[in-house]
Structure 1
Amino acid sequence: MTAFTRVKELAKIRKLSLREVNDKAGLGKNSIYKWKTSAPSIENASKVAKVLNTSADYLMGKTDNPAPVSDKISDTDLDKALNEARSFDGVPMNEHDRAILKGMIKAYFDQKGND
């Protein structure tokens, strides 16, 4: 399976057009379409992988697992978890509380990644 095919499949799952993926990754016009016949550079594959929440290794066919390799928690996952948390220890949480918790959690994982 080519990098183009993998990008196309993941983009469809994430409800993004190839043009949107291309633009969000900051690539030149129609760069992804060129992947039909030639492999992308690691740099460009990494940019697209970030947009699609996967790994460059998956896009380049080095693994069949589209899950990202990173242990980092995504902002989307963190926002979802915090939005579902309405209270802590019986005390209601407001948006300010959630923003503070988000900052603390991100700082923890950033520090953990540096250890």
Structure 2
Amino acid sequence: MTPFDRLKKLADKQGLSINDVEEKVGLGKNTLYSWKKKIPSGANLTKIADFFNVSTDYLLGRDTKETKTADLADEDTVFTYEGRQIPPEDLEYMKRLLRGGK
């Protein structure tokens, strides 16, 4: 499986086209299609990994684990659900629920 195949799988899961991903991440048109034949640049690989919350190793096929973990207490992490950012007030609600409703 190529980096493009992995990218396509991730985009499909979120109902996004490759062009949608390019636009959301700020890449030029057809940049990601070039991944079919060549290894992506480090900067673009990182942008896509961050967007889908996966490791660059997953995109390159060096790791089969699709997701990476993050702690809800991490203030520098943007948490998403179905491609949309979770509002801060919802994150606080989730944290309270995980603490047992306190």
Give TM-score, length-normalised by structure 1: 0.63
Matched, 1:82 2:75: no
Q: Distance in 1 between matches of 2:37 and 2:80?
A: 33
TM-fit CA distance, 1:61: 1.2
Give ranges in structure 2 of 5+ residues lacking alignment: none
Which residue in the other structure is 1:23 paired with? Answer: 23
TM-fit CA distance, 1:55: 1.3
The one-letter code sitting in structure 1 at the alignment partner of 2:80 is T
SS at match of 2:45: helix
SS at match of 1:16: coil
Could you tell me whether the CA contact under 8 Å between 1:14 and 1:52 is conserved in 2?
Answer: no
Q: Distance in 2 between matches of 1:70 and 1:41?
A: 25
Give ranges in structure 1 of 5+ residues lacking alignment: 90-115
Matched, 1:4 2:14: no
Larger radius of gyration: 1
Write out per-residue CA displacement over residues 54-87 of structure 1, whole angstroms, 9 at most, x where no aligned residue.
111111111111112655553337645435558x
TM-fit CA distance, 1:34: 0.5
TM-fit CA distance, 1:2: 0.3
What RMSD in Å do the two structures reach over aligned CA positions? Answer: 2.5
Which residue in the other structure is 1:55 paired with? Answer: 55
SS at match of 1:54: coil
Q: Which has the higher helix share?
A: 1
